[in-house]
Amino acid sequence: GAVVSQHPSRVICKSGTSVKIECRSLDFQATTMFWYRQFPKQSLMLMATSNEGSKATYEQGVEKDKFLINHASLTLSTLTVTSAHPEDSSFYICSASEAEKFSDTQYFGPGTRLTVL
Amino acid sequence: GENVEQHPSTLSVQEGDSAVIKCTYSDSASNYFPWYKQELGKRPQLIIDIRSNVGEKKDQRIAVTLNKTAKHFSLHITETQPEDSAVYFCAAKLQGGSEKLVFGKGTKLTVNP
């Protein structure tokens, strides 16, 4: 089945630093990937839709200059949290769907737990 | 835009009993409705999905029903087992346009042995 990986799984950083999270589709191509944020005991909040070769589409209220998204290939999207602050601490999850199959199904990565000190 | 309501927020059942989780959506143009199971600290896993041209779908102990007229869909788990304990999320996707899913707030299911 379709597998999505994320790296790193956990990251702890100091306030003011930037953190990059990678999302890869391992055995399929994904023209579209999605980035979510999840707070404890809450639902998945879509941050942005990442489109290969074009600019990401951000949801209302998400700062595009703070959460930089790059989708340079059909198997890799990156999320960079710039100048991270403690309030950016969260569980970040990506998802992707199989471009070749025109599939509605989204497969999720294992998530990245970010802690900003 | 689309809005998905999910009920109940918590559900506790005895092992062997059935569990039902209900979701309603607001946009009649939605045509794809997946259900995800998420264990603590893990990724959401797709357990079943249904498209708007189908009224019911079953996979072993799990079934999903869709009522397009009423704009609601439900997840049914029969013969529940302790390993079914998790948070379940429903979602809806609009036909055409963006590929994004709109999620419900989740239901924490506890199956007591």
Reported as a single tens digit per residue, the pLDDT across A81-93 is 999 999 999 999 9
A74: how many CB neighbours lie within 10 A of its CB? 17
pLDDT at A33 over 70: yes
Which of A57, A105, A110 comes nearest B34 by C-beta? Answer: A105
Cβ-Cβ pairs closer than 8 A, A with B, add up to 49
- Pairing mode, if any, of strands A4-7 and A19-25? antiparallel
The C-alpha atoms of residue A87 and residue B93 are separated, in whole angstroms, by 29
pLDDT confidence band for A51 (50 / 70 / 90): confident
Sign of CA dihedral A72, A58, B29, A108: positive
pLDDT more than 90, % of chain B = 85
CB contact under 8 A, A44 and B34: no
Amino acid making up residue A33? M
pLDDT confidence band for B97 (50 / 70 / 90): low
pLDDT at A52 over 90: no
Widest Cα–Cα separation across chain B = 45
Which of B49, B98, B103 comes nearest A105 by C-beta? Answer: B49
Chain A residues whose CB is inside 8 A of the B110 CB are none
The C-alpha atoms of residue A42 and residue A56 are separated, in whole angstroms, by 24
Mean pLDDT calculated for residue range B35-39: 97
The C-alpha atoms of residue B95 and residue B79 are separated, in whole angstroms, by 34
For B84, list phi and psi in degrees, rounded to 5. -80, -10
pLDDT at A103 over 80: no
Mean pLDDT calculated for residue range A59-85: 94
Question: Residue B95: its pLDDT value, please?
Answer: 74
> Cis ω on the peptide bond leading into residue A8 (within 30° of 0)?
yes
The residues near B33 (Cβ < 8 Å, ≥ 6 apart) are B23, B25, B49, B50, B51, B52, B64, B66, B73, B90, B91, B92, B93
CB contact under 8 A, A107 and B46: yes
pLDDT confidence band for A77 (50 / 70 / 90): very high
CA angle B54, B55, B58 (to 5 degrees): 90
Locate A51 and state its tokens.
Answer: 């489109």
- Comparing A41 with B97, which gets the higher pLDDT? A41
The C-alpha atoms of residue B104 and residue A42 are separated, in whole angstroms, by 10
Give the residue from B15, B20, B31, B28 showing the smallest Cα distance to B79: B15
Question: Residue A114: its pLDDT value, please?
Answer: 97
Mean pLDDT calculated for residue range B35-62: 94
pLDDT confidence band for B83 (50 / 70 / 90): very high
